Structure 1
Amino acid sequence: MAAWVGARRLVSTSAVLGRKINPYSPTPRPWPILPHDAVAQVNTPEQKMLKEKEKGSWKDLTIEEKKAIYRMTFPLTIAEINASNGEWKYVLGGVMCAISVGIFFSVITKQYFGPQPPYTYTKEWQELDKKARIPPTVIG
């Protein structure tokens, strides 16, 4: 069984239950920083050449070649993964719009479609209530 998010398979429930994950399986992993395959994807001739050089001695490789091999396996660094992409601005804007629309409709509903105030709020009722609350004077 697998957990799904939208149309993508997120993680196998066997991984959630504590079973071992096969590192050579083509299924997506629950962590984004590891390579998707056991071996990095080789697409261009330069990458194929670096992959062949990688099989030899690493002392013969330059620092740039080592960085290129690392980038083939791990396309993003931790800092690049954790970097903000500005999505929070759209989420905050959407939440504010939803709140303002809700407030607008509640005010309009109360003002035009709300129930009438009780009759005890009228001036006539309040004056009669004041007269009824005045204690009767004792005529002597």
Structure 2
Amino acid sequence: MGHPKHIIAVSAYVTNENGEALLVKTHWRSDTWEPPGGQVEEGEALDEAVCREIEEETGILISPIGITGVYYNTTKNLLSVVFNASVTGGELKIQPEEIKEAAFIKLTEENIDTYITRPHMKSRTIDCMKAKSVIPYETWEVEPYNLVGRLSE
């Protein structure tokens, strides 16, 4: 038996100074808006991956605050780690190969169905919106032990 094969993805509920959430529409899921994100590359720290993916897709620079949830898709063997993050800079400009549309939207539980049509994306986004705190996240190197980074409130 070989090693298990899983895909690890990251996304973030990114808010700007007006409390608006950064949402994207992808070409392959154009029926819904969703928080931006993507796959983690081998050896890449999760917090670095989420920053890279969001900058690549939207041009927005973020600062991850911490993790609000971990979700698993059994159909695709996909583990998804969702961060809360704030905008630190950049300018909204989409990567047209990947992203069809991107916008900052004033998202509420009352209007979320207008934007996020897929139930698994909706539940994780609501978890982010309701999160009173975050789960700490650490990146380590071992031999010798070196704490590379830590996110927590």
Normalized per residue, which structure has more strand?
A: 2
In the superposition, the TM-score normalised over structure 1's length comes to 0.21
Structure with higher Rg: it is: 1
In the superposition, the TM-score normalised over structure 2's length comes to 0.20
Normalized per residue, which structure has more helix?
A: 1
